[in-house]
Structure 1
Amino acid sequence: MKILVISAVSLFLSLGAAAVAQTTTVVVPGDVKTYVLKQETPSVTFEGDVVVGTALPDTVEIHTIPDQPDYGYVVVNQKRVLVNPKTRAVIEVIE
């Protein structure tokens, strides 16, 4: 019985560690944010919350950032949003 309890606790702890390991923080260069904040881009409407991890639909045009192929941006629901242009996933909501 003790071995079963110890095994269950070990499994729980290892799964908890795996969940924590999947949480990543993207550190966006300051010049990327500065560039995006200076752009005058019209806002598009998106139904639902725009939060980190949200994948934007193909109908939303993602704007490129010069010399920064890993980042794109869009203004959604009046908020400036950094996006991974390959996956269309929101990286950060700036404002």
Structure 2
Amino acid sequence: MRIPFSTSLAGILLLAGVGAVAAQDVIIEPEQETIVREYVKKQPLASVKIPGVELNIGSALPDTVELHEVPNVKYRYVVVDDRTVLVDPGTRKIVKILQ
């Protein structure tokens, strides 16, 4: 059985696109993470529960969840299930879960 060249090419391009998306992971510089950790210690928040949302990188938080600013840091934070979560304020997607 022969697969047409155009079908093979489409499959290869699709796989290449998946790799490009995976390469766009958010990288938080160690200095920024240190700033966030220190700020969170000084400005503790009550933990919230968000039914139906799994705490995973890339999960989006609903608009009802208040995001809190960290001075000089692009991302916002919230404490969910006793875990500090960094969120991209534009997309509301989780970019880092601090342990």
**TM (normalized to structure 2)?**
0.80
3-state DSSP of counterpart to 2:96: strand
Contact 1:55–1:87 under 8 Å retained in 2: yes
How far apart, in 1, do the equivalents of 2:26 and 2:35 lie? 17
Match of 1:63 in 2: 68
Larger deviation: 30-39 or 44-53? 30-39
Distance in 1 (alpha carbons) for counterparts of 2:79 and 2:67 = 9
After the TM superposition, which residues 31-46 of structure 1 pair with which residues of structure 2 at under 5 Å, given as runs?
Answer: 31-38=31-38, 39=40, 40-46=44-50
Give, as a single letter, the amino acid of the residue that structure 1 aligns with 2:59. T
How many Å separate the matches in 2 of 1:60 and 1:21?
A: 30
The Cα shift of 1:35 comes to: 2.8
Number of the residue aligned with 1:20: 19
Say what the alpha-carbon RMSD is for the aligned residues.
1.8
Q: TM-score, normalised on structure 1?
A: 0.83
Query: Percentage identity across aligned positions?
Result: 33
CA distance in 2, matches of 1:30, 1:61: 25
Gapped runs of 5+ residues in structure 1? none
Residue 9 (structure 1) shift: 1.5
Q: What are the ranges of 5 or more consecutive residues in structure 2 without an aligned counterpart?
A: none
**Where do 4+ consecutive residues of structure 1 move more than 4 Å?**
none
How far apart, in 2, do the equivalents of 1:62 and 1:29 lie? Answer: 20
Distance 2:18 2:78 in 1: 29
